Amino acid sequence: MTKRYKAPRGTTDVLPEDQPYWDRVWEASARICGLFGYRRIETPVFEDASLFSRGVGEVTDIVQKEMYVFEDRGGQQLALRPEGTAPVCRAYLEHGMHNLPQPVRLWYWCPIFRYDRPQAGRYRQHTQLGCEAIGEADASVDAEVIELLFRLYEDLGLQGLTLHLNSIGDGECRPRYLEALRGYYADKLEQVCNDCKERYQRNPLRLLDCKQERCQPVIAAAPPFTDHLCDACADHFSRLRAYLEEVEIEYVVNPRLVRGLDYYTRAVFEFQPQAEGAQSTVGAGGRYDGLIEQLGGRPTPGTGFATGIERIILNLKRQEVAVDAPVRPRVFVAFQTAEARSQAFRLASGLRREGIAAVVAAGERSLKAQMRHADSLGADYAAIIGKRELEHGTATLRRLSDGHQETLPLADVATIMTH
């Protein structure tokens, strides 16, 4: 008894019938990224593991419990890419992109790996589209990446997305805010859930985004970060808002919005659909002014986003957005006796060389079976080479939509269809 193989947990096969969705999202992504002057970059699927522990943050969940880490035969500690920004920053440094006009605008589309517990819209391997603008601190660039992502969703026809916006400060004001937040929570730890007691120690910002009922009153009265921003961060945030209004992108300021990666500074944002569910965020990003320096470069500001392709497609399906039909052949070549086989084979080859999609019948099936096959493939025409056609060097071309057919010289089959 042999084992029946299945795709590993949390992974999926993207079958032919799903490809039109992927094509649609890919096409729109490439077009809109290009429209904004972003150029595509591809980085390896695996990197030095420490790139992520250093870049994303040693104590983040991604690094602590979700990374696929392995040692290669040379003893290198490598990790399957758990997020896209750190590798792009590594490439920026490695290729001296600081010598290019700043900011450098890059986009990527790549698989991401996280050892998570799978559920709908959450996979161990998923695909992210991301944009990074590196080398400019001005809020106009934050607005630019947000607008790019917004235009992508708009182009795809996604409805009901809400843009949530927040600022989580920088090295100057964040420590002060965290102190204020801890001070506020210090005498309320009895009232909050166990997770929050943990967060109080490890990651106080996360206190703000707890979903437990009992914690809500405490959160509601907590001091919002937006009141504690230093002048520079407050200025950045208000400029960002102004830019967004300039290009008529609606948003809500959500003081409870925080992000799970350590490198974020100042502006952070998320696009959330109407649909219920924990994995609702479809795209998110923010500024990461300390990341390049953290990776060993000169202090260099950056901002960007990532959006999950599987989640986009999930929403496209929920909203029944129309996509192109899967590919189908223009002509199905059927033949009747074994003698006609090579003739049919040659006809199909000739059609393809004229750019006409052609599929030729295989095996030894009845004409009826071949015609059924032609129909189920959705071919426009069936070209039939039977005994009579074989004798005369002709083919019968049948239009499947209405059954109209005529017999014509083999050489004319291609020309009649290119007109």
Partner RNA sequence: GUGGGCGUCGCCUAGUGGUCUAAGGCGCCAGGUUGUGGCCCUGGAGAUCGAGGGUUCGAAUCCCUCCGUCCACCCCA
Q: Which of 20, 111, 224, 260 is the binder for RNA (CB under 7 A)?
A: 260
* β-strand pairing of 394-399 with 405-409: antiparallel
Q: Is 313 in the site for RNA (CB under 7 A)?
A: no
Nearer to RNA, 230 or 408 (CB): 408
Residues between 353 and 372 that touch RNA (CB under 7 A): 365-369, 371-372
Smallest gap from Cβ 362 to RNA, in A, equals 10
The site string for RNA over 215-254 (x = CB under 7 A, - otherwise) reads ----------------------------------------
- Looking at residue 2, the DSSP 8-state letter turns out to be -
Nearer to RNA, 19 or 203 (CB): 203
Write out 131-152 in H/E/C secondary structure. Answer: EEEECCCCHHHHHHHHHHHHHH
Cβ pair 128, 110 in contact under 8 A: yes
Cross-strand partners of 131: 107, 305
Nearer to RNA, 232 or 275 (CB): 275
Smallest gap from Cβ 410 to RNA, in A, equals 13
Nearer to RNA, 161 or 292 (CB): 161
Q: Is 61 in the site for RNA (CB under 7 A)?
A: yes
Q: Which stretch binds RNA (CB under 7 A): 22-30, 57-65, 231-239, 241-249?
A: 57-65
Q: Which stretch binds RNA (CB under 7 A): 29-37, 151-159, 167-175, 303-311?
A: 303-311
Element spanning 165, H or E: strand 162-167
Q: Is 31 in the site for RNA (CB under 7 A)?
A: no
Exposed (0-12), middle (13-18) or buried (19+): which is 183, by Cβ within 10 Å?
exposed
Residues between 121 and 180 that touch RNA (CB under 7 A): 121-123, 126, 128
The site string for RNA over 382-401 (x = CB under 7 A, - otherwise) reads x-xxxxxx------x-x-xx
**Angstrom distance (rounded) from CA 21 to CA 311:** 11
Residues between 193 and 212 that touch RNA (CB under 7 A): 195, 199, 203, 206, 209-212
Nearer to RNA, 8 or 75 (CB): 8
Smallest gap from Cβ 351 to RNA, in A, equals 17
Smallest gap from Cβ 11 to RNA, in A, equals 7
Nearer to RNA, 226 or 315 (CB): 315
Q: Is 374 in the site for RNA (CB under 7 A)?
A: yes
Residues between 64 and 103 that touch RNA (CB under 7 A): 66, 83
- Using DSSP's 3-state secondary structure scheme, residue 265 falls into strand
Q: Is 301 in the site for RNA (CB under 7 A)?
A: no
Question: What CA dihedral angle connects 286, 288, 289 and 291, to 10 degrees?
Answer: -170
Show Cβ contacts of residue 114 under 8 Å, excluding neighbours closer than 6 positions. 62, 66, 67, 68, 82, 124, 126
Nearer to RNA, 45 or 100 (CB): 45
Nearest to 328 by CA among 402, 370, 380, 367: 380
Q: Which of 73, 186, 403, 418 is the binder for RNA (CB under 7 A)?
A: 403
Nearer to RNA, 1 or 322 (CB): 1
Q: Is 310 in the site for RNA (CB under 7 A)?
A: yes
The DSSP string of 337-363 is SGGGHHHHHHHHHHHHHTT--EEE--S
Smallest gap from Cβ 256 to RNA, in A, equals 12
**Angstrom distance (rounded) from CA 130 to CA 87:** 12
**Angstrom distance (rounded) from CA 108 to CA 84:** 8
Residues in the chain: 419
Q: Is 111 in the site for RNA (CB under 7 A)?
A: no
**Angstrom distance (rounded) from CA 389 to CA 405:** 13
**Angstrom distance (rounded) from CA 322 to CA 309:** 16
